[in-house]
């Protein structure tokens, strides 16, 4: 799998991998739609993103409340824009 | 940063796990979760916190070769008192038949509690003599059955350490932080009648707290101690989960020796660092080490401890 986040589609795939879910994660998916996207699942997503986007977790506290693919994508885009 | 000239010796450690082993690895559906949390089994007790704490204390006293009548102060760190009042320290004081003319009090604190209490106790050793510092929690009785984020993490356990006035160690630097705005991230609320609900954890907020607040605290204490990370023999970090330990590790030098014993113990709340100390006591007393506890509050405490 491509481990680069260069589009919201690739982010969807990375979230699915982090959660190890058989459910399809689309670009408009919300956490409530995915069984494994609970509190523990969200940490797994953040840990995966920590490996892929430098400094993302160090400066974006709003990531903890981001409960959809779109919200996470917007935070990553803003983070990259800020750097 | 706070500096202390107080000297002490961590004489002994005793621990006790819950008597019921829960084998997470036996559940195939948890295989992926175990790979991430690093926790293969957790422990539950059907005993009281008093009974659990007594076992750890007896082990610590026996290991130190210290009689109960020689203890001068008891501090119990717990969020699982068997009663609303009196403090567990009073019941433990009676159970261990400690001298009447000593203070005994509880500190209501979680995963940062051991380091907070240790830093407090070190300042009191000169006044009270040998200190019995106890940590005990039974989180499993607080967990909602369907909450996998807590069910696969927490263990019931107790620990006890004995500090003496022997001038063997001192705290080179320490730092403490409290952020009550994050209190609801890890909370067991009471209702209006005083009955407790389930423990609720916003894991991702706590996880980001460790990255954004605890890591800078650790690096700041190292700087304040005027040492290099390379000087540190080992990092005694609260064993929250592999995810958290990995998140911190990535932000420390690659060759930092970060102790990890979470696989077979689980997260024993305030006892995780004493469990790490138990098998390394001589090494700990003879080398420069960093310990850091963090969690409920939200709160975090970090200290660098050096041999004299």
ipTM value, please give it: 0.91
Q: How many whole angstroms separate alpha carbon B20 and alpha carbon B173?
A: 39
Q: How many whole angstroms separate alpha carbon B111 and alpha carbon B272?
A: 8
Q: Give the gap in angstroms from C-alpha A63 to the nearest C-alpha of chain B.
A: 8
Chain A residues closer than 8 Å to B208 by CB: 46, 57, 61, 63-64
CB atoms within 10 A of CB B26: 9
pLDDT at B147: 87
- Chain B interface, best mutation among A38, A39, A55, A67, by max B CB count within 10 A: A39
Beta-strand runs (E) in chain B? 7-17, 20-23, 41-44, 71-78, 104-107, 130-137, 157-178, 186-187, 200-201, 234-237, 289-295, 299-307
- Rounded to two decimals, the pTM is 0.95
pLDDT above 80: residue B194:
no
Q: What separation in angstroms does the CA of B26 have from each of B22, B43, B308?
A: 9, 14, 47
Q: Where are the alpha helices (DSSP H) in chain B?
A: 31-37, 49-64, 88-95, 113-128, 148-151, 203-209, 215-224, 242-249, 262-265, 272-278, 281-285
CB atoms within 10 A of CB B67: 9
pLDDT 10s digits, A35-78: 999 989 999 999 999 999 999 999 999 999 999 999 999 999 99
Which of A20, A39, A58 minimises the CB distance to B201?
A39
pLDDT above 50: residue B129:
yes
pLDDT-derived band at B149 (thresholds 50, 70, 90) equals: confident
Task: Find the mean pLDDT for residues B17-37.
Answer: 92
Chain A residues closer than 8 Å to B205 by CB: 64-65
Q: How many whole angstroms separate alpha carbon B193 and alpha carbon B214?
A: 36
pLDDT above 60: residue A2:
no
- The residue of chain A nearest to residue B31, with distances taken between CA atoms, is A20
Which of A39, A44, A57 minimises the CB distance to B211?
A57
pLDDT 10s digits, B152-193: 999 999 999 999 999 999 999 999 999 999 999 889 888 778
Exposure b/e, B143-173, CB count within 10 A at least 16 = b: beeebbbbbbbbbbbbbbbbbbbeeebbbbb
pLDDT above 70: residue B58:
yes
Task: Find the mean pLDDT for residues B259-285.
Answer: 97
Interface membership of B28 toward A (CB under 8 Å): no
Q: Give the gap in angstroms from C-alpha B128 to the nearest C-alpha of chain A.
A: 42
Chain A residues closer than 8 Å to B250 by CB: 50
pLDDT above 70: residue B2:
no
- Chain A interface, best mutation among B203, B216, B242, B298, by max A CB count within 10 A: B203
């Amino acid at each position: 799998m491509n481990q680069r986040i260069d589009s919201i589609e690739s982010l969807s795939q990375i979230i699915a991998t982090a959660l190890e879910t058989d459910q399809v994660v689309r670009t408009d998916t919300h956490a409530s739609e995915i069984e494994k996207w609970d509190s523990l699942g969200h940490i797994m997503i953040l840990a995966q993103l920590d490996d892929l986007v430098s400094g993302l977790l160090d400066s974006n506290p709003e990531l903890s409340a981001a409960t959809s693919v779109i919200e996470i994508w917007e935070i990553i885009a803003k983070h990259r824009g800020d750097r | 940063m706070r500096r202390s000239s107080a000297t002490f010796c961590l004489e002994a450690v005793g621990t006790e796990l819950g008597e019921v082993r829960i084998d997470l690895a036996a559940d195939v559906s948890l295989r992926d979760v175990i790979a991430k949390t690093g926790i293969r089994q957790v422990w539950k007790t059907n005993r009281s916190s008093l009974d659990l704490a007594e076992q750890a204390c007896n082990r610590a006293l026996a290991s130190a070769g210290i009689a109960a009548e020689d203890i001068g102060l008891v501090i119990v760190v717990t969020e699982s008192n068997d009663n609303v009042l009196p403090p567990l320290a009073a019941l433990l004081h009676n159970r261990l038949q400690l001298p009447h003319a000593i203070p005994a009090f509880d500190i209501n604190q979680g995963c940062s509690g051991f380091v907070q209490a240790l830093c407090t106790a070190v300042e009191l050793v000169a006044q009270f003599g040998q200190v019995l510092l106890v940590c005990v929690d039974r989180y499993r009785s607080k967990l909602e059955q369907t909450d996998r984020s807590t069910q696969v993490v927490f263990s019931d356990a107790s620990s006890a350490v004995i500090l003496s006035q022997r001038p063997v160690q001192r705290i080179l630097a320490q730092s403490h932080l409290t952020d009550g705005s994050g209190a609801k991230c890890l909370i067991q609320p009471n209702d209006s009648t005083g009955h407790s609900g389930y423990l609720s954890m916003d894991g991702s907020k706590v996880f980001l707290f460790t990255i954004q607040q605890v890591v800078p605290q650790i690096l700041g204490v190292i700087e304040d101690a005027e040492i290099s990370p390379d000087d540190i023999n080992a990092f005694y970090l609260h064993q929250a989960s592999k995810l958290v330990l990995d998140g911190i590790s990535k932000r420390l030098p690659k060759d930092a020796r970060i102790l990890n014993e979470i696989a077979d113990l689980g997260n024993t709340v305030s006892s995780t660092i004493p469990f790490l100390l138990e098998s390394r006591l001589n090494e700990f007393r003879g080398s420069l080490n960093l310990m850091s506890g963090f969690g409920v509050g939200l709160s975090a405490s970090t200290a660098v401890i050096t041999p004299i």
